[in-house]
Amino acid sequence: MTWRPQYRSSKFRHVFGKAATKENCYDGVPITRSVQDNHFCAVNPRFLAVITECAGGGSFLVLSLHHTGKVDPHHPRISGHRGNVLDIKWNPFNDYCIASCSEDTTVKVWEIPPHGVLKNLTVPWKELQGHSRRVGLIEWHPTANNVLFSSAYDYKVMIWNLDCPEQVIKNPVRTISQHTDVVLSMSFNTDGSLLATTCKDRKIRLIEPRTGNLLRDANCKTHKASKVLILGNMKRLLTTGSSRWNVRQIALWDQDDLSVPLLQEDLDGSSGVLFPFYDPDTHMLYIVGKGDGNIRYYEISSEKPHIHYLTEYRSLLPQKGMGVMPKRGLDVSSCEVFRFYKLVTIKSLIEPISLIVPRRSESYQEDIYPKTAGNHPALTAEEWFSGINKDPVLISLKPGSQVEMYPELSMSKGLGNSLDMRRSHSRPGLLQLTYIQDQLATKDDKADSDPFAGTEERRRSSIISGHDLDLCSPPKTENELRLKFHRQQEEIRRLRELLNQRDVHITQLELEIKNIKNSHTHGSL
């Protein structure tokens, strides 16, 4: 009998990395030279933000996601900090809201205009003043709206409620003082009821965030942890770091017993920090090395050996940092399961890298896209601070089903309610979604007797959605109206993207004309 190697069956075994073409990269970006071990980049389905190098205070760029190619060196920036910006994070429930922290000891939260940053922004929506030393890390709560965590070189983690009316907030809701040195990373479990941290004192801590109580900690002498991740609901922690011989390592821990790691694996002898990223939908783990061009992929399972190596993406261009696109921004038509935005300092370049599952069929692949966390909060800040925990609100990534991002729509009755909801959530498109869903839910007795009954209401909804309905043949069934509604939503989305692209192009041309005029003026002088 001939021996054959035993391969573990996995639908993600052949995942491969595909770098974007040059015209789909962001070129000429002055990436920060900060030595902080952060990502320096944040992405959502609308915007790309990157911390930049500048003189006279800290700033960062916010570009439209479609604003690829050469970036104008005079592109407007967000420049309200008095010291270098160290970390930026998009609000998971508002694509137009981003937080930044800085060496000037403050955290600032910014509102981005719908068409992008067309002039320098210096006045934030909220300014958080409480730390006594530079603030190195910020994290949004994964399920509660407008709850922000910050960590500084004063060894404290502060929790902020952005729902309060003041623009300058000087008192955090809670201060966690469990650390004896600088916090290196923070990570939440799925519902945000647990906070894991790593610290320069070499300890891993598991903390109850509302009370600040220490639940468990670990001090592993053979593994110096730098970054930590809670792996979804698997009751596992993953840390990246180095051994006592400075070999880069990953380690897996049981959340209920941090005395000894379940697994330790040496990777290589490089010196850069390892950034871990985890996708709870596919159970895939990505390990990105700072200073090299490699991305390793693993699959996590509940059975031993727990971590299964899949393959590796290699590049000769070293990465300074990484941004990650939320799942709702992926291209499901190409079976894309993850997307990185790689910062390449030596070329002033941001390079998108797509992780793709090779499939022959072009139809939607249900098995690799289970329902995922959407951009709707499960809780208000007040509810979370009062002690309530809830899992994220899930959405389907199947094209045409994005209406599930607004689960409260079916609860609203009447246009007045929808207007109140639009004011409270500031979500474009919510008004027309609510109104048309109300039309679906309402039974009109006149429709059977009069074929043109409800014509005025349909005309009103068509004005709201920006489209003219065919009044000569009005839909007579709920399914027809539902189908027309989904088509309109897709058309609205397409037109909005086209308008955004044209606005950005116009702004680019205006800036180029301004630069040409300035150069001619200086030349004549």
Mark whether 24 and 168 lie in a shared domain. Answer: yes
C-alpha neighbours within 13 Å on the C-beta side of residue 315: 24
Contact predicate 371/396, CB 8 Å: yes
Mark whether 327 and 467 lie in a shared domain. Answer: no
What's the pLDDT at 524? 58
Mark whether 170 and 46 lie in a shared domain. Answer: yes
CA–CA dist 492, 105 (Å, integer):
42
CA–CA dist 192, 194 (Å, integer):
6
Mark whether 45 and 150 lie in a shared domain. Answer: yes
Provide the CATH number for the domain around residue 138: 2.130.10.10
Please report whether residue 48 resides in a domain. yes
Mark whether 124 and 205 lie in a shared domain. Answer: yes
The CA dihedral of 291, 292, 294, 295, to the nearest 10 degrees, is 0
CA–CA dist 515, 506 (Å, integer):
14
Identity at 239, one-letter amino acid code = T
CA–CA dist 206, 231 (Å, integer):
13
CA–CA dist 132, 152 (Å, integer):
8
What's the pLDDT at 474? 45
Coil, strand or helix: which one is 425? helix
Mark whether 53 and 115 lie in a shared domain. Answer: yes
How would you list the strands of the sheet with 307-313, edge to edge? 274-279, 284-289, 295-300, 307-313
Please report whether residue 449 resides in a domain. yes
Mark whether 199 and 62 lie in a shared domain. Answer: yes
Mark whether 410 and 521 lie in a shared domain. Answer: yes
Please report whether residue 9 resides in a domain. no
What's the pLDDT at 394? 95
Partner residues linked to 354 by β-bridges: 18, 339
Please report whether residue 340 resides in a domain. yes
Please give the chain's pLDDT, 525 residues, in tens: 444 445 567 888 889 999 999 999 999 999 998 888 999 999 999 999 999 987 667 899 999 999 899 999 999 999 999 999 999 999 999 999 999 999 999 999 999 999 899 999 999 999 999 999 999 999 999 999 999 999 999 999 999 999 999 999 999 999 999 999 999 999 999 999 999 999 999 999 999 999 999 999 988 888 999 999 999 888 999 999 998 888 999 999 999 999 899 999 999 888 889 999 999 999 999 999 998 999 999 999 988 888 999 999 999 999 999 999 999 999 999 999 999 999 999 999 999 999 999 988 778 899 999 999 999 999 999 999 999 999 999 999 998 875 434 333 333 333 333 333 333 333 334 434 433 444 444 434 333 334 334 444 443 443 333 433 333 334 446 666 766 777 787 778 778 777 877 777 787 777 778 777 776 665 555
What's the pLDDT at 421? 36
What's the pLDDT at 335? 93
Q: What are phi and psi of 500, to 5 degrees?
A: -60, -45
Mark whether 424 and 318 lie in a shared domain. Answer: no
Please report whether residue 306 resides in a domain. no
Mark whether 349 and 470 lie in a shared domain. Answer: no
Strands (E), 335-429: 336-344, 349-356, 372-373, 394-395
- Look up residue 252 and give its two tokens: 């897996």
C-alpha neighbours within 13 Å on the C-beta side of residue 45: 14
**Beta strands at 69-70 and 26-27: parallel, antiparallel or unpaired:** parallel
Domain enclosing residue 136, as ranges: 16-213+287-292+311-356
- Phi-psi sector, 41: left (phi>0), alpha (psi -120 to 50), beta: beta
Mark whether 130 and 23 lie in a shared domain. Answer: yes
- Look up residue 198 and give its two tokens: 């790593």
Please report whether residue 4 resides in a domain. no
H/E stretch holding 497 = helix 478-524
Mark whether 31 and 141 lie in a shared domain. Answer: yes
Burial of residue 521, with CB atoms counted within 10 A of its CB: 0-12 exposed, 13-18 middle, 19 or more buried: exposed
What's the pLDDT at 238? 96
Burial of residue 262, with CB atoms counted within 10 A of its CB: 0-12 exposed, 13-18 middle, 19 or more buried: middle
Please count the structural domains in the chain.
2
Q: What are phi and psi of 51, to 5 degrees?
A: -75, 130
